[in-house]
A and B are shown apart, each in its own frame.
Chain A
Amino acid sequence: MTKVVVAMSGGVDSSVAAALLKEQGYDVIGMMLRLWSEPGKEESNRCCTPDAMAQARRVAAQLDIPFYVIDAKDVFRETVVEYFLEGYARGETPNPCLICNREIRWTFLLNHALALGADFMATGHYARVKKDERGKIDLLRAVDRNKDQSYVLHVLDQEKLRHALFPVGEYTKPEIRAIAEKHGLPTASRKDSQDLCFLAGEDYRNFLQRNAAEMLKPGEIITRDGETIGSHDGLANYTIGQRKGLGVASPVPLYVITKDAVRNTLVVGTQEQLGSKELIARDVNWLSGEIPQEPFRAEVKIRYTAKEAEALIMPMEGNQAQVTFDAPQRDITAGQAAVFYQGDTVIGGGIIL
Chain B
Amino acid sequence: MIYLDYSATTPVDSRVVDAMTPFFNASFGNPLSVHRFGQIAEAAIDSSRELVARVLNCKPDEIIFTSCGSESDNLAIRGAAYAMREKTGANWILASRTEHPAVTKTLEHLGKYDGFLIEWLDVNEHGMVTPEIVAKAICDNTAIVSVMYANNEIGTINPIKEIAEICRVNKILFHTDAVQAAAYLPLDVNELGVDMMSLGAHKFYGPKGVGALYVRKGTPLVPHLTGGGQEFNLRAGTQNVPYIVGFAEALRLTEDEREQRAAHIQPLRDKIIGAVLESIPDSQLTGDLESRLPHHASFAFRGVDGNLLLTLLDGAGFACSSGSACKTGNPEPSEVMNAIGLSREWGLGSLRVTLGKDTLPDHIESFLNALPNVVEKARHLK
Contacts and interface: CB of A to CB of B under 8 A. Distances in A.
Nearest to B380: A115
A69 B307 contact: yes
B320 to A, nearest CB: 14
Interface stretch (B126-134, B241-249, B327-335): B327-335
Given A70-B307, A71-B305, A71-B307, A115 B312 contact: yes
Interface in A283-322: none
Contacts of A37: 330
A29 interface: yes
B26 interface: no
Interface in B323-371: 327-331
B328 A68 contact: no
A117 interface: yes
Interface in B297-316: 305, 307-308, 311-312, 314-315
Contacts, number: 41
A34 B330 contact: yes
Contacts of A111: 381
Contact of A70 (B308, B314, B377): B308
A134 B314 CA distance: 38
A34 B381 contact: no
B315 A33 contact: no
Nearest to A29: B315
B381 A112 contact: yes
A335 B112 CA distance: 52
Interface string A110-128: 0110011100000000000
A32 interface: yes
Contacts of B314: 66, 68
Contact of A71 (B312, B315, B330, B377): B330
Nearest to B374: A115
B311 A68 contact: yes
A48 interface: yes
Given A112-B381, A115-B377, A34 B329 contact: yes
Contacts of A48: 329
A112 B311 CA distance: 10
The prevalent SS among residues of B at the interface is: helix
A172 to B, nearest CB: 33
A117 B373 CA distance: 13
A55 to B, nearest CB: 12
A30 to B, nearest CB: 11
A53 interface: yes
> Most chain-B Cβ atoms within 10 A of its Cβ — which of A37, A66, A69?
A69
A253 interface: no
Contacts of A69: 307, 327-329
Contacts of A328: none
A253 B329 CA distance: 50
Nearest to B378: A115
A117 B315 contact: yes
Contact of B329 (A70, A116, A117): A70
A163 to B, nearest CB: 16
B54 to A, nearest CB: 42
A70 B381 CA distance: 11
A218 interface: no
Contacts of B377: 115
B328 A70 contact: no
B251 to A, nearest CB: 33
B22 to A, nearest CB: 33
A247 interface: no
A71 B331 contact: yes
A32 to B, nearest CB: 7
Interface in A8-57: 29, 32-34, 37, 48, 50, 53
Interface string A57-73: 00000000010111111
Nearest to A108: B381
A273 to B, nearest CB: 49
Shortest beta-carbon contacts, A-B, top 6 = A34-B329, A69-B329, A68-B311, A116-B315, A71-B329, A115-B377
16 contacts: A29-B315, A32-B329, A48-B329, A50-B328, A53-B329, A66-B314, A66-B315, A68-B314, A71-B329, A72-B329, A73-B330, A115-B312, A115-B377, A116-B311, A116-B315, A117-B315
Given A53-B329, A66-B314, 9 more contacts: A37-B330, A48-B329, A50-B328, A53-B328, A69-B307, A71-B307, A71-B330, A116-B311, A117-B315
